Chain A
């Protein structure tokens, strides 16, 4: 993309130019879509290869199946009474059944393309090892079941963090060098610690010591039977993990956005606006916020799709049934359909976001145009 200066054109030429622009935009969109699709295909296939260690996971699985069947034999009081032949036969049958269940009869290379085709068509299929909480092997259900819990926590946390940091940063950018500004800068390094680190302290203080907030989980146990009670309980359980998310990143985010806004607030047109005596809220909104909007929107969009991934450790310490823990379990269990399912959805979301952002940029920023070949 290039920035083209606006020029005045006659009506016919304008119509021709409009048609030409549309064609260029369409062509650009198609090229972008194809490029993004290729990126998704490559990304997902690499995920399949990595999740299966290039096919080595099959060996691990086969060995684990045999070991598991062998251990079961030890626990069987009838085992000792079987003949050698019977023992062999029984083990081989059990092993064959489990290998069949996991589809190990097919070579990995063939399976890898089946995984890819299924993933790209969003036919997420059945998990191999793990189950949804309510006992389904459908990857779709496994992921969907965890989605609300993930959204409750991370949407609340990340959106709070995002908007709070934007508004505080905007405020600080107009008060450069103030005590609050210096305090934020000084506190920025505290964001080096992840959310779960703060989470542990918050649990110890508010749950262990003061006993005013729960240790973890999503709702009280047993969960309140009525919807209002459930919602209030959910809110109460959100306080600590959301606080951990916010504390762990707010200072750095504020620092980042405040620096970003400061650059824009030193522009000549901002100085001119100040010299004209325009109110500071108007200056912030029209002269600082608007030109920075593409960056904010990009950040916001990426924040939104980032919700899909959850956070493994934070979810673990707060016993939060989110997608992060699910993905962690799936990786540990080499459950390719679940890993690929999660990744392909993220990949599609990311590709779509990037594509939409390209379009949005053109709408939001008048300086952005699709470059034409003819002059």
Chain B
């Protein structure tokens, strides 16, 4: 064989090997699914929850995106072999008391003006009864003004548990307090009924009728009758009750107890302001709030917490502990239960649901929804209401079910963690947070850096305001020549691919002009000189301006944005997320490229449509709807003009970022989109809006093939890793001798890793029910922690039944887990 032929063979062999080696890589590259797992989502309306479950069982729909609380339906779902569900914890119920009096102007007595009597209601109501009998187990007892599923409760679990034990159901104690305090007020018991100045003491319980609060109201009314009060049950819907409890004068005594309910659709990572809001006059300018008379100490502590007047998390915890204790003493609100909603779905459907917002409130649902391991296909979702209000990104529909669909069409710089409320980078690369020294900010995730600085000086070139007449930004140097500083500076860095890989649904490449447009829109509608000035935008803008200190684009490609503000959050991740979202074309109610915004602005400027409902009424035009109705005809006529002019909105500023050629491309893209799709909803999320059938109430979403991320990017959030804990150890401990207890901590997929655990701590309640000891457990290995008590520690315990409680606080979910073991301490 000649050397030439040898060489040829060798080359052929190498090529063959290279080809064979490349085959699997190519195949792998082909099988990487981008964007959503399913090809199509069809959303339909189903108002009846029971019918929705029947349809789920029959396979007619795969998900019912409504939080249900009916125990009967829950039993149906859990009994079904084909159904599953997601849980959410964002609803809570309480008793609101009328604090006016005790002597009302008409001579009647209002016992609930006395804090001690309100406090005694905590002992009177049996929260476990409400949980089990009224909610059928679909609730958890709640004693305190913070949500037990959110991070503050986990941070304060030791304080919370002590208070929960202190205020546990004790009707005898409640009766004792009532007897004593009513006597002090001058009331007498005649024939088992309380009388005041010769007349029965009447209590009006204002009972909401829409949900389980009706039964709760009846239960509380029954308890009060049992104490000797003459009770009037006044049943009312939200609309009927509102003029009485919220707007009515408390001193008129038209009600004494109201069955209140509240909702939180996102995981609140900072509930410190709850005291200020729920217990003090500062909360709201309603007559009820103005009748609150918190103790001076409680008032001060509440205000400090509300205004974040603390220098460290330890100081915050101290204030929080005090506030919790004083809130229970005050008890203008007696918290009863946290309702657990369930979102039914077919067993085979997997998706990430939010612990507060459920499926409808989750940002990750479109990124994670999938039928088993299937790729592609159509998935049907039912919602109890749809297309309730017009869709427009500025001030369109804010209904949770409309927003669920809108979120599927949007992309974000960061993504909400559905289990902790923290944020993860979605489109941005990383962020640097600089906080003024002395402010209590912490960091959990490593995509964001946190640095404390003595001062954050705002550069003169940063934009701080907007001249609506000249249509240009006002810089810090112009507005504040003396200079400006900020509590917070955030540097948000985007990857180089941002302007090459990210596309809008109409095919346009994402550009810096979209970012600048979003910044302009923060200002323009709130400026009286603007052609689209909307008074409805001004209150929120004024609040924003109070803390906003500037924004600066320091690099266009890759995009780097600096953001300055005096408002800060406890989590570095939140400081970064709010800065990133500020300069991102996701507006209050949805995404939009600059050309769609320009079209809307055009229409409002010409007084043909209006972004907000209030402005539509004022101008006597239609509320802008980008997806259906009479708005489309108007917008399409604007589109023709914009296309002809190669229109650039806010030209004095935007022409720096858009060329005429780019403008033409954008308008052509939008024109093509409108003629293909029949609507103007252009997003950049994993799904695009394919069709809307407003009367039939059907929304069709189709997978956006150009979405840049792999489909499994957020797969780890498909199930919340709520911990389960089990304590084991000796049933009897001899005082003065050491004792150890094992705590096994698992999640649904296995042992909980030590690195994923925030802390495991123990509380030891002695035979008198007092908190005798507390401290951290030590990690042994993944899934196993140990509580070790020294001989000295056990020696301090009185003999008798003692309870060891363990609080497990994971990093991956905001819900802490509790476990306990009863131990007998012997001498």
Contacts and interface: CB of A to CB of B under 8 A. Distances in A.
Interface of A: 59-60, 62-64, 66-67, 70, 73-82, 84, 86-88, 90-94, 97-98, 100-101, 126, 131-138, 141, 145-146, 148-149, 203-204, 207-208, 211, 214-219, 221-223, 316-317, 319, 321, 334
B107 interface: no
A135 B246 contact: no
A67 B694 CA distance: 30
Contacts of B46: 215-216, 319
Given A81-B307, A90-B539, A135-B387, A101 B617 contact: yes
Contacts of B44: 217, 221
A317 B50 CA distance: 10
Nearest to B272: A80
Interface stretch (B30-38, B120-128, B553-561, B628-636): B628-636
Nearest to A88: B285
B25 interface: no
Contacts of B6: none
A62 B242 CA distance: 9
B581 interface: no
A73 B243 CA distance: 19
Q: Which 4 A-B pairs have the closest CB atoms?
A: A134-B629, A135-B625, A135-B390, A80-B273
B68 interface: no
Contact of A223 (B282, B286, B389, B698): B698
Contact of B622 (A92, A93, A138, A148): A138
A98 B614 contact: yes
Interface string B256-279: 000000101000001011001100
17 contacts: A60-B239, A60-B243, A70-B246, A79-B273, A82-B543, A86-B546, A88-B285, A133-B387, A135-B387, A135-B625, A148-B695, A149-B695, A203-B54, A204-B54, A217-B45, A223-B696, A321-B696
Interface residues of B, number: 74
A222 B698 contact: yes
B284 interface: yes
B48 interface: yes
A93 B616 contact: no
Nearest to B569: A77
B625 A223 contact: no
Nearest to B52: A215
A222 B276 contact: no
B284 A136 contact: no
B617 A215 contact: no
A145 B630 CA distance: 12
Nearest to B398: A72
B47 interface: yes
B443 interface: no
Contact of A321 (B306, B380, B697): B697
B614 A131 contact: no
Contacts of B693: 219, 222-223
Contacts of A126: 617, 620
Given A100-B614, A135-B625, A136-B629, A215 B51 contact: yes
A137 B623 contact: yes
A333 B585 CA distance: 34
Contacts of A63: 239, 242-243, 246-248
A64 B47 contact: no
B680 to A, nearest CB: 12
Contacts of B239: 60, 63-64, 334
B546 to A, nearest CB: 7
B547 interface: yes
A67 B284 CA distance: 10
Contacts of A203: 51, 54
Contact of A73 (B45, B284, B391, B567): B284
B616 A137 contact: yes
Contact of B58 (A80, A90, A207, A222): A207
Contacts of B791: none
User: Which of A126, A133, A145, A321 has the most C-beta atoms of chain B within 10 angstroms of its own C-beta?
Assistant: A133
A90 B543 CA distance: 8
Nearest to B617: A101
Contacts of B308: 80-81
Given A80-B276, A82-B546, A135 B623 contact: yes
Contacts of B286: 66-67, 70
B96 interface: no
Given A93-B538, A135-B631, A136-B622, A217 B696 contact: yes
User: Which of A64, A204, A219 has the most C-beta atoms of chain B within 10 angstroms of its own C-beta?
Assistant: A64
Contacts of A74: 262, 277
A222 B381 CA distance: 12
A154 B618 CA distance: 38
Contacts of B622: 135-138
A221 B246 CA distance: 43
A215 B54 contact: yes
Contacts of A148: 695
A134 B694 contact: yes
Given A64-B239, A91-B285, A208-B54, A132 B629 contact: yes
Contact of A316 (B47, B276, B543, B613): B47
B539 A221 contact: no
Contacts of A94: 539
Contacts of A73: 277, 284
Given A135-B628, A221-B42, A86 B543 contact: yes
Given A60-B242, A91-B284, 18 more contacts: A60-B239, A77-B567, A80-B272, A126-B617, A131-B389, A131-B623, A133-B694, A136-B622, A136-B629, A138-B622, A149-B695, A215-B58, A217-B45, A218-B696, A222-B698, A316-B47, A319-B45, A319-B46
